Structure 1
């Protein structure tokens, strides 16, 4: 495979209006924010990545402000001029800067895209080349849809009806204390057989175990991250009390975390968000841990634009990703995305991986610049933090 050398990196802070806001137990943001990364190589390849961080330190500690600062001041200078035989060498290059996994993941993703394009292969194939034999991509991903907290159960049911009519085979509902058992009961009364899961985003404590046991009667696919967002230990005390499988999301930041969670029985399923674990190199390690221990794995989402969604979809097409992923069709998120063609829900609740080199979607530069203008026009911070210009 041909190496690449990084000659330039450009960052585009962007904002996009959402078709519908996604309210979770930690709130909802007014629009989608992200940092789009463009990497150019001396060989002429251009790669794209996305840092899907939020405006507030809610899902994770990183924000648009911290990501832009860390990338501009530390991470981008560390990349410029570097020659990579493989994108898996990027994390070592960025390792002297601790933390900030989403910022690092965005830069690494752009390198993966550029490297795949330079070698005339698709991104899914590039991932498979770094896995043992038998992990060839399938060309599609099994997907579901995530539905935020609504004003009423009736409003929730209306959205569920719409999504099921569109062809989604797995429904995920955001929950919080007071918005859980009766919600699940209402769904099961109308849809006794639909694949249903609940996502708490760390809204409960171990003291709520008896209450969470009530969810067992609804035969859920899983309950995602019920306890603290950094916790693994207390989940190991909760899981034995539930018939419902616990899935860990926010707690898993590395393959080491996955090994620990599995070893102490903290979960039966793992959600992998490549941005959360610092990029696709670490994602491949998490993938291998789950395969070794026969732990079901699925790819989560952070409302990525087409840039990040294309890359996540490529990873989700690997055979070890064996549960429906949070990678919905484009029209679930945006009226007009940054990329073409749009992602479309296909038969059996699947989305096809685009054919071509790298992420294999066309990034519309005019839309990226429009989205950058939208970000500055709706700038959410009281202070400029060095990136507003």
Structure 2
């Protein structure tokens, strides 16, 4: 089956009753019949049928052997990083989500886990950053917020040659557009809050593995650490997943129109979007993904123009997050990357005139008309 069909036909039926919508098992515990033999479910932190259904659905879409649902995207990332031990070293793409940067530099560093941030668009830079004690390679592509493109197949080959695992945050692309496990990566992460759920009403995260042994390790961490997704939120994600294809296709069409328009505007200095042929890494992205996605970033000519656009938009919510049915415009310097020190942001090109736009399901022409009025007034 093609990915669009698989989206509809994953986790859609309750095996016990035949219900085409998996029930919400709103329970904390499960009664047992035998002292010697417990049933499949005993305590909801360990397993819940509704959470299990969404975990299986996301795993199938990513082409993985097992999926795990967490209470947030950062819970998924932090739990995955618990695979590593004191003395381990990680190579991380420098243009990484601010929350990931924060947890690596302020929490996991305290546990003796070292990180080196590199320009991962250059495979030679990845190779050069590896050390004898490097155990992991953490990537985002397209990256947040500058949409940098990393060759996942080449990067994972480097990691494997060094005996390290490759972790990829696939939030921007979703499995509809990009499946890192098929490119040789080991663990895929999502802020399911974004496109997977798609309706700005759930906080959740996912991890998906290809290798069964790695899955056992993540399973142990998930159960021991306990940052699991609740049944109601699991059900909402299952419902949101059903429309993933149509949402991504429509939002992507809008993003392409808006990116082309922005590229021709005199008050726009630069547009970052992998759907533009002059975007660095366009060929690599076209090879490993089936579309450019619905998120783009751009820099404006002044802080005044930037402020006027952010505060004046009515058809796009000026807010943290992305991936909803409504367009969301955000300010990386004070939102997604506020946790990153100013000097680090500046070194990565995340300036005060940078804007990120997640295109929703509004008519693109309406969004362009409003942006045009605010930028060029």
Same fold by TM-score greater than 0.5: no
Q: TM-score of the superposition, structure 1-length normalised?
A: 0.31
Q: Which structure would you say has the larger RCO, counting Cα contacts within 8 Å and 6 or more residues apart?
A: 1
